[in-house]
Amino acid sequence: MQVEITREYIEQVEEAIARKDQDFILESMAGMYPADITTVLYELDATESKYVMDLLPPEVGSEILSDLDYDIRKDFLDNFTSQEIARYLNLMDSDDAVDILNEQSVQIREEVLALIDNEEKAAAILDLLHYEEDCAGGLMAKELIKVNQNWRVRQCIEEIRRQAEDVERIYTVYVVDNRDILVGRVSVKALLLSKDDVLVKDISNPDVISIESFRDENEVVGVMQKYDLEAVPVVNIQGRLLGRITIDDVIDVMQEQAELSRQLMTGITENVEEDDTVFRISRSRLPWLIIGMVGGLMAAQFMGFFEGDIALLPALALFVPLITATGGNVGIQSSSIIIQTLASNTVIFDNLSERMLKVLLVALLNAVIISMLVFLFTYLFKGDIKLSMVVSIALFSVVMLASLMGTIMPMILDKFGINPAVAAGPFITTANDLLGLGIYFGIAHWLYSL
């Protein structure tokens, strides 16, 4: 049951914990989803959360632990014994269990592994611990349904019943040979509709998309997005079936990537949360603020070269914010589109000329419309045809140049192995400010013969 978590309910839970009112806690949370209980725990301190977790069924507690944010979970589990952690891990998918173990010290990790009752689960967890967290092997779970291609349908259904006890969601049934090499897949529907004595290889589909265990997590996301998969099998270099990656794990990776890109584009260099320390938050923001400050100082120094022009025609200074703001906005828009394309692993260099032509046509259309509107506005309110021409021509040039820079710079950074998201921040904005001011005052100097 989905419920609304109010401040009043949180206070009631805190009061119930203080007076050890177990009945209220159990009754009020009996119909709640684990995700809603997790929201409640975020509002409690570690001791109070531990008290609530001890009252809940272990199955619910294992789901809550799987959903907790990394920073909170790490501190939260400091209050649990190795025996208690092992009890929850026994009920989790192997990939979630590995994530939790990787957050613990080596001593706790070994103690927990030794306390896991299910030997098959312990072996699966131990196998996954060898993989890096950001590769396909680190994302996969060992729980899946697989059948031998030489089995008959009757035997397959019996095996599915046995394996399904450990598999929460059955997306597809994988077909392997005698060496566990992945050779295809078969749907549950095909098995149910086939006669009992039919061989699996006669009804299986050899067209199965898989990914090697050493592949980067970004490649996993790209494959599952491209082929619209809910799960993808993971194989080793010889093609042996190792596990599977499900859509929920990929969504977590996509959220992390989106958060990282957002932080980089807004000038935050570290992964920070609202409840982090003041020093950590400040440290994550300072680098790009300093770069922006340096860019502003450079722009001010640059404007000093045209101090005489501004003294002769003060109206020029009125349009400086327009030139710099428009250039920055256009650059950010253009770079954001390219960054999205690069993040989706879409090949853009094979049809670069076509893409650049499209970028230029879009920039041209925008530049013409914006420059015409500015020309009319300036002429109506200032009555100076030359000033109107200076502003409109400069704005036209700035839009074209900013579009080109916003498109090319992320691709260049990506080629050099630099995260292109950083190009959408103060770097492009500062560069466009300097070039835009140079164009603006250059045109003014030329038309007015200053």
- At residue 104's C-alpha, the angle toward residues 100 and 105, to 5°, is 160
Task: Check if the beta carbon of residue 246 is closer than 8 Å to that of residue 231.
Answer: yes
Which pLDDT belongs to residue 242?
95
Which pLDDT belongs to residue 151?
94
Task: Check if the beta carbon of residue 253 is closer than 8 Å to that of residue 220.
Answer: yes
Residue 119, classed as helix, strand or coil, is helix
Question: Is the Cα torsion angle 315, 316, 322, 324 positive or negative in sign?
Answer: negative
User: In terms of DSSP bridges, do strands 182-186 and 146-148 run parallel, antiparallel, or are they unpaired?
Assistant: unpaired
CA distances from 223 to 211, 231, 234 (A): 8, 10, 12
Which pLDDT belongs to residue 303?
73
Task: Check if the beta carbon of residue 92 is closer than 8 Å to that of residue 167.
Answer: no
* Interval 429-449: pLDDT, tens: 777 778 888 888 888 878 776
Which pLDDT belongs to residue 447?
79
Burial class of residue 354 in the structure, from the number of CB atoms within 10 Å of its CB (0-12 exposed, 13-18 middle, 19+ buried): exposed
Question: Is the Cα torsion angle 322, 323, 325, 327 positive or negative in sign?
Answer: positive
- Whole-number Å distance between alpha carbons of 38 and 65: 8
* Interval 230-246: pLDDT, tens: 899 999 999 999 999 98
User: In terms of DSSP bridges, do strands 211-212 and 146-148 run parallel, antiparallel, or are they unpaired?
Assistant: unpaired
Which pLDDT belongs to residue 347?
52
From edge to edge, which strands make up the β-sheet containing 241-246? 211-212, 231-235, 241-246
Tell me which H or E stretch contains 46. Answer: helix 46-55
Burial class of residue 190 in the structure, from the number of CB atoms within 10 Å of its CB (0-12 exposed, 13-18 middle, 19+ buried): middle
Which pLDDT belongs to residue 55?
93
What is the set of domains in the chain, with CATH numbers?
7-134 (1.25.60.10), 146-247 (3.10.580.10), 278-448 (1.10.357.20)
Which pLDDT belongs to residue 410?
79
For the entire predicted model, the pTM comes to 0.65
Q: Flag residues of the chain having pLDDT under 70.
A: 1-3, 258-277, 280-285, 288-289, 291-292, 312, 340-352, 417-427, 449-450
